[in-house]
């Protein structure tokens, strides 16, 4: 399976059938993505799905054996590249020479340390005064698995409270945006986005680390990619037929007289079994190994149930509130949200209504059924204006 240097979410979806049949992945050292929203995160999920589907997964680099260890750190600074390096079985150069995986992971240690310590600027793939992307990931079974931006406590790590994640979001924005743009985001309710991130990271920590049998995945990751992005009006119009809702969201939030919209894009990515498989497995007390035999409408209902207030698989009066609370915060932010899990890709534009809102998304792919993906990816778009 070969990944082009430039692709969009539709190109990525077309690659999913190959995940089950091709144990080879050729991934560029650096990528220039096309498309409107969440391409990096979508590609990371494709890579995770590929690695989960193969007994032996081989990552091929666009680099010879002499330069591979110099270029691997660059690859690791993308969400998809890091997922590939962590999840694959083995690594080869473009001339099929083996690259020792231990050596590959050793050269990305400075990046892992930066994520662990919360050195936000040094998790970015870009150089310069203002990074465009900040990546923070916890890697299953790593010595530095419980990174400080997400967890506190050495002996029994726990996810930070919501207030800390609001600080984390503000720190990230301060690095990526001008003071004017940062103030605009703060007025739009940026701290509420910290609450969303807290809920989604807590959900990933609880539900994505183990498989449907409750066994911790030997290989896996969970975390977030925070991006400062821009979309031109002409690009929004060009994609209006394939992504009409998002195109309307862009045009609606664009300042009069401007030809582009700056926005903050946050993706929360995990390599777990996905929302529906986890939900049904826990609810019915039986592990759901595959979605193949499950009617798509049952999968959709199970996914939506995850977001309902007090609907939970736990015996607690406070359980079942996490994803529900995230939806209320997204409504306050008037965000555009895309969710990819299992065979579903769902999207919703939130309007900022005063009352409690339900998660009532539309299908991104219409009536077409998508190939099942591993893990879960939320991508959230917040305008900067």
What whole-number distance in Å separates Cα of residue 356 and Cα of residue 370?
31
Burial class of residue 109 in the structure, from the number of CB atoms within 10 Å of its CB (0-12 exposed, 13-18 middle, 19+ buried): middle
Q: Which of 227, 212, 220, 222 is nearest to 172 (CA)?
A: 227
What are the pLDDT tens digits along the chain (385 aa)?
A: 988 878 888 889 999 999 989 999 998 776 665 567 888 999 999 999 999 999 999 999 988 888 888 889 999 999 999 999 999 999 998 889 999 999 999 999 999 999 999 999 999 876 667 888 999 999 999 999 999 999 999 889 999 999 999 999 999 988 988 888 888 888 777 888 888 899 999 999 999 999 999 999 999 999 999 998 888 888 888 777 778 888 888 888 888 878 888 888 999 999 999 999 999 999 999 999 999 889 999 999 999 998 886 455 444 333 345 788 888 888 888 889 999 999 999 999 988 888 888 888 999 888 788 999 999 999 999 888 7
Handedness of CA 272, 224, 318, 304 (dihedral sign): negative
Q: What's the rounded Cα separation, in Å, for the pair 208 and 205?
A: 6
Question: Domain extents for the chain?
Answer: 1-107, 109-383
Global pTM reads 0.93
Listing DSSP states for 355-374 in one string gives S------EETTTTPPPPPEE
Name the β-bridge partners of 135. Answer: 225
Name the nearest CA neighbour of 302 among 326, 271, 277: 277
């Amino acid at each position: 399976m070969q990944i082009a240097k430039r692709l969009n979410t539709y190109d990525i979806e077309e690659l999913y059938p190959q995940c089950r049949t091709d144990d080879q992945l050729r991934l560029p050292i650096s990528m220039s993505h096309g498309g409107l929203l969440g391409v990096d995160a979508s590609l990371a999920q494709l890579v995770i799905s590929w690695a989960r589907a193969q007994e032996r997964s081989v990552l091929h680099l666009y680099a010879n054996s002499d330069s591979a260890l110099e270029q691997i750190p660059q690859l690791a600074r993308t969400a998809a590249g890091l997922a590939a390096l962590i999840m694959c079985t083995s690594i080869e150069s473009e001339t099929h020479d083996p690259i020792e995986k231990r050596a590959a992971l050793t050269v990305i240690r400075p990046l892992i340390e930066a994520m662990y310590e919360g050195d936000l600027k040094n998790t970015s793939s870009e150089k310069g005064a203002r990074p465009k992307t900040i990546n923070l990931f916890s890697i299953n079974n790593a010595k530095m698995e419980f990174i400080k931006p997400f967890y506190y406590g050495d002996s029994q790590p726990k996810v930070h409270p919501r207030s800390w994640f609001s600080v984390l979001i503000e720190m990230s924005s301060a690095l990526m945006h001008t003071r004017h743009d940062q103030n605009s985001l703060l007025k739009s309710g940026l701290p509420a986005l910290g609450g969303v991130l807290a809920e989604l990271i807590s959900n990933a920590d609880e539900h994505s680390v183990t498989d449907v049998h409750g066994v911790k995945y030997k290989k896996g990751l969970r975390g977030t990619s925070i991006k400062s992005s821009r979309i031109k009006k002409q690009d929004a119009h060009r994609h209006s037929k394939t992504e009409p809702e998002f195109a309307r969201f862009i045009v609606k939030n664009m300042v009069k007289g401007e030809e582009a919209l700056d926005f903050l894009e946050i993706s929360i990515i995990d390599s777990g079994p996905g929302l529906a498989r986890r939900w049904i497995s826990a609810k019915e007390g039986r592990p759901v190994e595959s979605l193949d035999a499950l009617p798509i409408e049952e999968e959709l209902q199970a996914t939506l149930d995850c977001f309902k207030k007090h609907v939970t698989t736990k015996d607690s009066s406070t359980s079942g509130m996490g994803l529900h609370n995230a939806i209320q915060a997204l409504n306050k932010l008037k965000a555009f949200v895309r969710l990819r899990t299992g065979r579903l890709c769902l999207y919703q534009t939130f309007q900022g209504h005063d009352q409690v809102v339900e998660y009532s998304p539309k299908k991104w792919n219409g009536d077409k059924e998508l190939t099942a993906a591993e893990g879960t990816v939320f991508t959230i778009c917040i305008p900067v204006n």
